[in-house]
Amino acid sequence: MPARIVLVHDDHTFLDGLGAGLRRDGHDVLTYGDPMPAWDTLRATANIGMLITRVQFASGKALGIALARWARASCPGVRIIFIARKDFESAAEGMGIFLRTPVTVNDVIETVGRLTLRNYAFSNESAVGSDNSAVGREPWGRAMPGLIPLGDRNVKSV
């Protein structure tokens, strides 16, 4: 199921590749290399289905956490995917899916595809467990009916 996605990342090579890949999969993608224009889009558009962002941007730039909170407040039901280093994981707790860097464009596209294909809505619950051996479970252990495990320890629900 295609989604309207706001994608915010300051690595333009990654941003362009991910945006193109998501568009190829049929998603409506709005890309931003800076979080400030993304704020304006979130303020003006209530039908955003997903936000993909970093946790933290270069000095002086809005934090991805604040952007995610704004998205939640202005776009009910928005799904959030963070792309960041492991040490930012606790800052994103309870906000959505956390993809630990290094992560590839294909990793993110696969995650988006599985989430939208299965029409899985994120919960606000923190992840539990770490068992990846059970079929039908996310790599971090929480049951998720009908979702094939990603099989990658770099993906975690926070």
Mean pLDDT of 13-30: 96
Closest CA to 82 of 94, 59, 45: 94
Query: What is the rounded CA–CA span in Å between residue 1 and residue 14?
Result: 23
Task: Please give the average per-residue pLDDT across 84-101, as a whole number.
Answer: 91
Task: Mark residue 153 as left, alpha or beta (left: phi above 0; alpha: psi -120 to 50; beta: remaining).
Answer: alpha
Cα 90 from Cα 99, distance rounded (Å): 12
Contact present, 98 and 111 (Cβ < 8 Å) = no
Token representation of residue 10 = 């300051």
Position 101 pLDDT exceeds 50? yes
Three-state secondary structure call for residue 137? strand
Average pLDDT, the chain: 77
What is the Cα–Cα distance from 73 to 90, expressed in whole angstroms?
21
Assign 116 a pLDDT band (cuts: 50, 70, 90).
Answer: confident
Give the C-alpha separation, 125 to 130, whole Å: 15
Q: At 42, is the secondary structure helix, strand, or coil? A: helix
The predicted model scores a pTM of 0.74
What residue ranges in 17-109 does DSSP mark as E strands? 28-32, 50-54, 79-84, 97-100
Q: Which residues neighbour 153 within 8 Å (Cβ) at sequence distance 6 or greater?
A: 132, 139
